[in-house]
Amino acid sequence: MSNRVLITGGAGFIGLHLARHLASNEYKVDLVDNFTRGITDLDLETLVSQENVSFIPLDLSDRESMMTLGSGYHAIYHLAGIVGVRHVLNRPYEVMDSNIRMIQNVISLARRQSNLNRLLFASTSEVYAGTLEKYGLEIPTVEGANIVLSGLSCPRTTYMLSKIVGEVMCQHSGVPFTIFRPHNIYGPRMGMAHVIPELLMKVWDIQSPQPLEVYSVDHCRSFCYIDDAVEMLKRMLNTDACDQETLNLGVQGPEVAMRDLAQICIDLIGKNLIIKPMAPTSGSPHRRAPNMSRSRGLLGYEAQIGLEQGIEKTFDWYREYVFDGGGATAQ
């Protein structure tokens, strides 16, 4: 049986970490990226120098380019897409247009495979936002919660809807699939548009008596370190019971308020800063956390890295490669 895996968005945050994890477990890995959000850096160069890892520069929204990919993949992880609150708010139409075209082309690729074990599609926790906004939602949230759209004029709806459309297409594609909904995955090499690296950078840059501006200070999230996330993603592929399933990806708790998250970053870096509460981010739900009971039961795995340990590991990487080193990160 082939152990060749394709990862779209392979130069991005989750894609590179997943590729590294699979390559170390004797998979042959092909990475696809057009560097819209991913980057070429030492991490990527080191990874693709391995004998069992290849990089293919390719635009997933271009159907003709996708036809150049082979038909011998054991699995396809579709991670590529435009994500991040800042990108979604600034480019809502492009988000929806690009994300839907990509999943269409990836499903076409999956249908051409001779012996595909699984297409694993990265959806989003944002699919629950409309239900939470309009009707309330049990938190931690189960995968079977009813899905309701947020307001159609809201920019964040374009991202949510692009992923809902992707889920529906997978369900009716005729290919074996697993849909996973990531909840606040973080770690080294993550784009600066996300809350933890953004807070770390702000704390690193400012000096007292300048306050640290923190938005949505009383909003709560649970955060999952990248090493735990990619282990779960590997287990989804290797667990037959995950076929035709939709699963949360993350940690159930503890939930942490943005004010407390900022204080962890302040204490870690060793600054004496006052937190200045700012307005809530547009469309941001007050709480978000996944119910992980089903994922835990199927995967037999519990996250191992606690929040403070994970933020410290994340900061160590950013300090060496970005804050002191002047490097870039995935977007």
Question: What residues form DSSP beta bridges with 182?
Answer: 249
- What pLDDT shows up at residue 193? 77
User: Which residue in this structure is represented by tokens 């990265």?
Assistant: 122
Smallest CA-to-CA distance from 265 within 208, 323, 214, 311 is with 311
pLDDT, tens digit, 9 for 90 and up, residues 113-146: 999 999 999 999 999 989 988 899 999 999 999 9
Which pTM was predicted?
0.94
Which of 86-100, 137-151, 231-245, 310-324 is least confident? 86-100
Amino acid 328: pLDDT: 64
Percent of the chain with pLDDT over 70: 97
Lowest-confidence pick of 30-34, 97-101, 207-211, 284-288: 284-288
Rg (CA), the chain: 19
Q: Which domains does the chain have, with CATH numbers?
A: 4-187+224-251+288-305 (3.40.50.720)
Measured CA to CA, the distance from residue 103 to residue 148 in angstroms comes to 21
Instruction: Determine the Cα–Cα distance for residues 168 and 180; give it in Å rounded to an integer.
Output: 13
Q: Encode burial over 291-323: b for 16+ CB neighbours within 10 A, e otherwise.
A: bbebbbebbebebebebeebbebbbebbeebbb
270-287 tens-digit pLDDT: 999 999 999 998 767 889
Whether 169 contacts 236, CB under 8 Å: no
Whether pLDDT at 20 is above 70: yes
**Confidence bin at 329 (pLDDT 50/70/90):** low
The pLDDT tens digits for 58-97 are 999 999 999 999 999 999 999 999 877 777 888 999 999 9
Cβ–Cβ under 8 Å, residues 105 and 122: no
Owner of token pair 């997978």: 170
CA torsion 60-12-247-152 (nearest 10°) is -70
Above 60 in pLDDT, residue 331? no
